[in-house]
């Protein structure tokens, strides 16, 4: 079975650069684009893992800062005012935001596309998938 073609538009200045590279390497523009996309896709898991590590480090730093702030406030009851409470609230807000970013960035396996293809392939009469 032939693999499906994937088409996308490139801005003029990018296309000119890809064309120059393709002629220099004696390849087609399509092959250069395909190899570039494959290379970038192969790097995505490593980038996501590094992104998650950095967010985890930020999260840990903020947790430690919140812990030290609470410790400071417990030791200095006279300084436990609205500003200190505002700092704790902001730290908690930032920690929750980082948790949300990490949760959203986590790649979850999805069977949606596989299900669409399966439904399409099981039809008695094949038609184009809707856009």
pLDDT in tens, the chain (131 residues): 666 666 777 788 888 888 888 888 888 888 888 888 777 777 777 777 888 888 888 888 888 888 887 787 777 776 667 777 778 888 888 888 888 887 777 666 667 666 766 776 777 765 555 54
Rounded Cα distance, 129 and 104, in Å? 28
**Cβ-based neighbour number of residue 124 at 10 Å:** 4
pLDDT of residue 3: 65
pLDDT of residue 62: 84
Mapping DSSP to helix (H, G, I), strand (E, B) and coil, where does residue 120 land? helix
Query: Which of 97, 77, 101 shows the shortest CA–CA distance to 89?
Result: 97
């Amino acid at each position: 079975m032939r693999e499906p073609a994937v088409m996308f538009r490139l801005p003029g200045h990018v296309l000119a650069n890809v064309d120059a590279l393709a002629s220099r390497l004696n390849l087609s523009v399509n092959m250069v684009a395909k190899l570039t996309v494959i290379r970038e896709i192969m790097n995505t898991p490593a980038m996501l893992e590094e992104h998650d590590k950095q967010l985890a480090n930020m999260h840990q730093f903020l947790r430690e800062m919140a812990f030290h702030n609470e410790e400071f406030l417990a030791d200095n009851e006279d300084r436990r005012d609205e500003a200190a409470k505002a700092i704790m609230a902001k730290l908690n807000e930032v920690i929750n935001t980082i948790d949300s970013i990490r949760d959203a960035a986590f790649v979850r396996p999805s069977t949606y596309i596989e299900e669409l293809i399966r439904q399409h392939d099981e039809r008695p009469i094949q038609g184009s998938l809707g856009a």
